[in-house]
Structure 1
Amino acid sequence: MSIAAKIHPRAFAIEFKDLATWSVAAQFVAEWNWPQEVIKPLGRILKRRSEAALETLSPETMVTLLTIRFDGSIEPREQIQIKGIKGRLFRVYPGDVIFSKIDVRNGAIGLARDDIDCMCVTSEFPVYSVNIDKVLPEYVKLLFRTTIFKKLLNSMISGASGRKRIQPSHLERVIVPIPPLRVQQKIVAYWSDAQSLISAIKRSIETIQNDSEKGLLKRIGLQIPPVIPRKGCFTINLSQNERWDTFFFRKDFISLDDQIRSANYTTLGDSLNFISRAWKPSDFPKGSFEYIEISSVTKNDGITHTRSVSVQEAPSRATTLVKAGDLIIATTRPYLGSFTIVGKKHDGFVCSSGFSLAESLKTEALDKEFILFFLKSEAGLRQLERRMSGGLYPAIVQSELEKILIPTPPLKVQKEVVAAYNNGLAEIQRLRIESKKISEEAGQQIEEMILGVSSVEDI
């Protein structure tokens, strides 16, 4: 038997007085390792708030609806008038506990922030005021996010598959540990300290990313200008008019273009051999291949995942066979920087037609990794942004991609820039691993403290 829960055998008996619902899963029993006087129903510390918005506000009042994410964070949506919403709205006040009936079991519970004006939610989001004389709102949030509590929630779900909900009345009857406030404060402080360390690491990563790129671009003679949109009327030489589009002539685009052209440069089309490499069913005798979608590639991590696809059911966009050493450039939403050089691990995979593929270099004066660094830098992304077209899914066509300007400093400088960039990436990876370790250890410690199997006094 686990310290966390009593696991029933295949056949078991429940006394009728203990039977809340006709569900085997609902008979899950949490075993909190606390003195009995600490174990109390949630209804003792949370009071349901059902204040209809129209009780205190007019239909014309602008209110802020809320989004609750699975990590417990709460984000405001755009403000809207009450009369523009179908159904009833309910008021939320700073410090209130809010959860999603459908997604609370996935972690969608949070505390209302104090920097959002006139918060409201629909009836799908129960709201509770917290009895701060007995419990800290932050402790409630940590409690709700423990593994054992999520199991309890899953034992209470009801409704059709895909729309299963936790009913507030069931939630309020759940028995949980409510230790003295000083103990709760220690648990919350431990979590806050861990989050402060993680936030400090995130700031360090951002500093490395920003300072490293700026320094390396400066070394090749480039300084990224601030975004400067055009206002009013302006004139250009007809010889400079590549397209009838005022956005194309944004001042920072022109400034960056002038900086690159003031030194040695070439174009992407003159630097790389772009090809189309179709695959054949015979390339995959096992009947399936690993597919690299645009969402599989990120600016900072390259190819993060792939999915196995049957040759017989291959998506229409799964068109291109990739080999180690290929440079693939996402042409849909290119400003996201989803570009990478294919490694040996992904040799022989298939990528989406949303990538442009370059097999090799046309010149020995350029390093392929330097080209990749430059394309993912702000200097490269600004040029891609300038030349893309389209509304909802902006993209860059091949002819425009090949017009991207690439500086050509001495090869020695290129290799030094790439080495420094890779060192920065290695440090970022180290910091991410450290952050993940702190997060996992803190989560485990919080779990054990709330279960009561780890002493709070020892932290």
Structure 2
Amino acid sequence: MDTTTPVRRVSFSQLGRWDVKFYANSIKSVYPLVPLKNLVIEHNEKEQLYNFPEESYKILGVNNTQGIFHAYDSLGKDINQSYKRVSAGDFAYNPYRINVGSIGWVPLEHDGAYISPAYVVFSVNQKEILPEIFWLILKSSFFNESLRAATAGSVRMNLTFPLLESLQIPIPPISIQKKILENWHTATRKLTKINLDLNKLPKELERYILGQLGLKTKEITQQPKVITTNWTKLTKWSQRATHLLNQVSQITMGNYPVVIGRDCISEVKHGCSGSPSNKPTKLKVLKLSAVTSGVFLEEETKYITDKLQYRVSFDLKVGDILICRTNGTLAYVGRPALIQKDYKDIIFPDKLMRIRCKKNILPEYLEYILSTSIIRPQIEANARTAVGNYAIGNEDIFNIDFPLPPIHMQLKLVEKIKEVKDMVAEMKENSKTILDDAEKVIEKIILEGYPSTNPINNLVISEEATS
């Protein structure tokens, strides 16, 4: 049943725009609604980093999972536009993606870094609202509904700073804000415990897998300004590559023969270079974000012109491995993601490569080994740089060295890999549930008031999630 009110009265003094949906989605709270124009200060100052060509700059990005993150470092000569400098406590958002949570709060570790001018950067009046409370409100579902109503344009959402200023949010007294944060931090401390356990599992798994292969893990050290090496170990005229290759464990000392990629990989193929379609079609092409996390995300797609040639040449089948061949972040280059089923209406783009295996190697084993500390240095050493991007080619994959145990041993290792991956997935799901529940409680407090009992402290984390 439709419960929306067909008519709503708005006083003339509040009529700031001729937009029905804007007023229909206003927030209702026991606390006063305050216009954001009274709380936020835009920072639009830009610096011409290209005037300092040999200076290295930390460049930040914003997404809907990490918020603010360190995207890459770049020399001034590789930056062709003015960038915004951010300070700790600033907020930054993508005006076209804030509706999916693409907003972040700059932590102290990124103070003084730079961000693309495409992002909106601002700070808040901390006498009125605590930055962390403001961040929680911006991430809330009730604010998301409000900003959707405020967005200009019917084709693509665009939350400009003036539109942001036109929004209102409920502001509890500072004393209540502090209580909310106390309880929120209690919940996040529990999540920190889970995340610490999550961070241990991949390292423990690699120690086990490499141990079964007769090898040891090796921590990759930071590249020094000056390195020395034996002439016999100098395979590339590159300080970075030489340093990385010297980090690789002696894989020939393990229990199984060492092969090159060509011995067990039948194909390494670049993806489709066709342009995306502005109109919906029956064929979709993956975005880079579909694989850069190391897990295949089938929903990360966009439309492309539907051609039979594309479908035949760039199809995706179960057992295929996709890797990113070029990216501004070296850690993403060569990161593998396994395809778990056939996709008849999805193809892969030119910036990805598709690997297909021969019968002497399991795709699951190859996917895992490509991410280990004995293979990553080889991939990163072979990555070439141009205009701020790193790139690898087909031959770099065909020439990688790695141990190849017999199929029965691969099956044993893959079984262990799956066991740990399932465990990680379950812990992440538990963590997400706890976080979602905590956010819902905070939203309820901000809209309906602070209860006499503390609902956040009543959140229960299972023994399985914390053990």
The alignment's TM-score, normalised by the length of structure 2, stands at 0.68
1:377 CA drift (Å): 1.7
CA deviations 1:170-191 (Å, max 9, x no partner) are 548x4x5444444333322332
Quick one: which amino acid aligns to residue 365 of structure 2? F
Equivalent-residue separation in structure 1 for 2:283 and 2:121 (angstroms): 43
Given that 2:260 and 2:399 are in contact with CA atoms closer than 8 Å, whether structure 1 keeps it comes out as yes
CA deviations 1:305-363 (Å, max 9, x no partner) are 46475664579798233433x443536149634434443343786445642432532x4
Structure-2 residue corresponding to 1:357? 355
1:379 aligns with 2:377: no
CA deviations 1:121-141 (Å, max 9, x no partner) are 999645442226xx5443333
1:300 CA drift (Å): 3.8
Change (3 A) 1:453 1:395: same
Which structure 2 residues correspond to residues 181-220 of structure 1 after superposition, within 5 A? 181-220=174-213
1:440 aligns with 2:433: no
Structure-2 residue corresponding to 1:394? 391
1:376 CA drift (Å): 2.5
Equivalent-residue separation in structure 1 for 2:201 and 2:315 (angstroms): 35
Equivalent-residue separation in structure 2 for 1:421 and 1:440 (angstroms): 28
Secondary structure at the aligned position of 1:301 is classed as coil
1:301 aligns with 2:295: yes
What RMSD over aligned residues (CA atoms) do the two structures have, in Å? Answer: 5.2
Identity of aligned residues (%): 15
1:437 CA drift (Å): 1.1
Change (3 A) 1:416 1:314: same
Secondary structure at the aligned position of 2:214 is classed as coil
Structure-2 residue corresponding to 1:408? 404
Equivalent-residue separation in structure 1 for 2:151 and 2:375 (angstroms): 50
Equivalent-residue separation in structure 2 for 1:64 and 1:402 (angstroms): 33
1:394 CA drift (Å): 0.9
Quick one: which amino acid aligns to residue 245 of structure 1? W
Given that 2:383 and 2:390 are in contact with CA atoms closer than 8 Å, whether structure 1 keeps it comes out as no
CA deviations 1:288-312 (Å, max 9, x no partner) are 4554565433564235446475664
1:424 CA drift (Å): 0.9
Given that 2:86 and 2:121 are in contact with CA atoms closer than 8 Å, whether structure 1 keeps it comes out as no
Secondary structure at the aligned position of 1:344 is classed as coil
1:425 CA drift (Å): 0.5
Given that 1:101 and 1:165 are in contact with CA atoms closer than 8 Å, whether structure 2 keeps it comes out as no
Equivalent-residue separation in structure 2 for 1:120 and 1:261 (angstroms): 45
Change (3 A) 1:340 1:185: closer
Which structure 2 residues correspond to residues 248-267 of structure 1 after superposition, within 5 A? 250=242, 253-254=245-246, 256=248, 258-260=250-252, 263=255, 264-267=257-260
Equivalent-residue separation in structure 1 for 2:296 and 2:85 (angstroms): 44
Change (3 A) 1:20 1:206: same
Change (3 A) 1:163 1:381: same
1:147 aligns with 2:144: no
Given that 1:445 and 1:454 are in contact with CA atoms closer than 8 Å, whether structure 2 keeps it comes out as no
Secondary structure at the aligned position of 2:313 is classed as strand
Quick one: which amino acid aligns to residue 357 of structure 1? I
1:427 CA drift (Å): 0.6
1:16 aligns with 2:9: no
1:320 aligns with 2:314: yes
1:222 CA drift (Å): 1.9
CA deviations 1:93-149 (Å, max 9, x no partner) are x76x756695796457766655666799999645442226xx544333333433333
Out of 264, 267, 288, the position equivalent to 1:274 is 267
Given that 2:283 and 2:346 are in contact with CA atoms closer than 8 Å, whether structure 1 keeps it comes out as yes
Quick one: which amino acid aligns to residue 320 of structure 1? F
Structure-1 residue corresponding to 2:340? 343
CA deviations 1:80-100 (Å, max 9, x no partner) are 99xxxx99x9997x76x7566
Aligned length: 421
Change (3 A) 1:8 1:317: same
Equivalent-residue separation in structure 1 for 2:43 and 2:262 (angstroms): 63
Quick one: which amino acid aligns to residue 393 of structure 2? I
Q: Which shows bigger deviation, 298-307 or 369-378?
A: 298-307
Given that 1:273 and 1:358 are in contact with CA atoms closer than 8 Å, whether structure 2 keeps it comes out as yes
1:205 CA drift (Å): 1.6
Equivalent-residue separation in structure 2 for 1:248 and 1:458 (angstroms): 53
Change (3 A) 1:146 1:335: closer
Change (3 A) 1:233 1:317: farther
Structure-1 residue corresponding to 2:446? 450
Is the radius of gyration larger for structure 1 or structure 2?
1
Given that 1:323 and 1:348 are in contact with CA atoms closer than 8 Å, whether structure 2 keeps it comes out as no
